[in-house]
Amino acid sequence: MLGFGVIGFALTLHPVIGRSNGVITSLVLATLIAIGAAFWAWMRAAGQGRSPHIEWQPKTAHALQAVAHLCVYAYWSVHHPPVQEQLWLIAAQIPFAYLIDMAAAWRKHDQYRLGFGPLPIIGSINLFLWMTDDWFYIQFLMVGLAYASREFLRWRKDEQTHIFNPSAFALVAVALVLLLTGQSDAARGQEIAATLGKGPFCYESILVAGLIVQALFPVVWTTLGAFVTVMAFTLGYQFITGGVYFIDTAIPVAVFLGMMLLITDPATSPRSARGRFIFGSLYGLSVVALYALLWSWSELPWSPDLTFYDKLLAVPVLNLMVPWINRMVPVGDDTDVPVSPLRRWGVILAWVVLYAIARPSLVDNPGRDVGFWKTACEMNPSQCDRLVISWQTRCTNGGLETSSACRETARRVLSDGCTDKRKITCTPLGQLLVANPTEVGDKSRGRALLISACHAGQIPMCTLLGEHLWNTKDPAKGLRRRILIRGCQSNDARACEVLGLSSFELAQTTDEFGFARDAFRDACRAKRPLSCANYAELLINGKGGRRKGMKGYLDQKTGRQVLRETCARGFQPACARMKSLPALPAPPTSQPSAHPAYPGMKLPDGIRPAPSSQPQ
């Protein structure tokens, strides 16, 4: 018991865990609570005259389930490196799970069978939901809820079979709270759903994991029912509407994971093969319905996506329907079918062949092409929301992509969104119209949108528009100057640099050169080499007036120092300019016996010379 506690505390020393106070605090408190629960159960059993103890009795089933989860994690971590760090956060939950499992066992029995039992629960929960660091304590709460549902939620007290799939019950309980309180950003569910599909064989990694479970338990009919139902629906949807229901695949990889490793708990599934097929089919239909419901709840396509909950929410309801399915489907020879290994492997082989036939619609679906959705939207306006999602996924990554399909689609998507008062689309629409105008008035509208964004505090848009006006020699010099000043005053170094370049280009007077020099100076402080070189040049040439408190000689010295530093950072034009400069002349000296204002006049005894106005 104490050994698991020590492991839990020791994990706080790992850099991944130790970088967040929220994770450390959650782990320490959870470990203390779990140790307390296990110790209480041990004391209670001892007080009743029992002899609580631990025996090593691992079960092959638990070990193989853990291996199945490990297959998914291994492939996933290779193609999405952040998973490698998350594995340490998953490991931090394991000692807690063992201690809670220990407490649950000693509450009713003398013996705790030490093995691999907690690993499938931890592995399953973390395949579907991660909490952010500040909310990490909920990760331990989910583990506790899983064990609580297994221990206390049974059809009858004397029954050994629990009602709910423990992992699914915990996941759904937390998911519902997050949904109803609007705190879904506390969970990293969308990240999981988006990154599980990385790599060319993401579906196969899950398939292999599922086959391990199917070889161990007679659950292939559950998976088969879910897969066939969703495939039939999505193919029918595409035939009727011309679009793809799940945007870019017939079955999302996260839903496929749910089919293979979430709903396949034999203890909470129907007993017969036909019952399991119906159970799986109901799961498939629930995913389809929940996807539409959560799409509406999320107000897609312009708001954060909540559809990643679709694979979770219906599982406890389906668990409650198991007795009804068992009564509806007579239990005969097909109970726990396929019984014989030959028959079981025959069904598994048929399932693998079906998967191979359907694979192209999973990994190479036409919905992955934005051009497909452009055509679908033109033919059926009901598909235009999916066009927006496809464009957001395929064409935006911090800016507009340059592919022709993305450019052609962007104008419609952004214009419709901005017209619909979706401000999130107005700024990129402004960028597009300014950079790639195709109609009269596009530049004016784009400029107006970017000015609005600039005034709203989007400083990069100030710089973008100012730079565009300068590059295109736009006559709106006053506008350019105003927005670049706003950007520079907000510490945008690029805005300062463009302000310096554009001001220098038009400078005629000392004050104008001084304005350009100060802009270059501010950009140089951010280590922008071009600005540093220009700043140095203005100092060396004495343009822009004297620097406060300094004369021309010190301007020369400072300018050369800036050039040396810029050259040292690898900016070759600064190095070339340094080589072309003549040697710096020696500073003039002053006569201590005469006042510099009156040359040749000797000072009276006892009067020291006034401070020289000549630079030292």
Q: What is the pLDDT of residue 523?
A: 92
Question: Concatenated DSSP letters for 67-121?
Answer: HHHHHHHHHHHHHSTHHHHHHHHHHTTHHHHHHHHHHHHHHH-SEEEESSTHHHH
Q: What is the pLDDT of residue 586?
A: 63
Q: Is 392 exposed, middle or buried (0-12, 13-18, 19+ CB in 10 A)?
A: middle
Radius of gyration of the chain (CA): 35
Lowest mean pLDDT among 204-218, 353-367, 502-516: 502-516
Query: Can you tell me the mean pLDDT for 90-115?
Result: 92
Q: How far apart are CA 145 and CA 519, in angstroms?
A: 60
Q: What is the pLDDT of residue 119?
A: 95
529 three-class SS: helix
- In this model, does residue 65 exceed pLDDT 50? yes
In this prediction, residue 50 has a pLDDT band, given cuts at 50, 70 and 90, of confident
pLDDT (tens digit per residue) in 522-543 = 999 999 999 999 998 888 887 7
pLDDT (tens digit per residue) in 149-200 = 998 998 876 667 889 999 999 999 999 999 999 999 999 999 999 999 999 9
Share of the chain above pLDDT 70, in %: 88
| pTM of the predicted model as reported, rounded to 2 decimal places | 0.76
Q: What is the pLDDT of residue 335?
A: 46
Highest mean pLDDT among 39-43, 288-292, 325-329, 414-418: 288-292
Is 276 within 8 Å of 347 (Cβ atoms)? no
Q: What is the pLDDT of residue 588?
A: 56
pLDDT (tens digit per residue) in 582-610 = 876 665 554 443 333 333 333 333 333 33
Comparing 465 with 423, which gets the higher pLDDT?
465
Helix or strand holding residue 56 (H, E): strand 53-56
Domain spans in the chain, listed from the N-terminal domain onward: 1-61+72-159+171-181, 185-365, 507-582
Highest mean pLDDT among 81-85, 390-394, 587-591: 81-85
Q: How far apart are CA 119 and CA 85, in angstroms?
A: 18
* Six token digits for residue 168: 């699914």
**111, β-bridge pairs:** 53
Is 12 within 8 Å of 28 (Cβ atoms)? yes
Lowest mean pLDDT among 30-34, 312-316, 356-360, 557-561: 557-561
SS3 of 360-378: the string is HHHHCCHHHCHHHHHHHHH
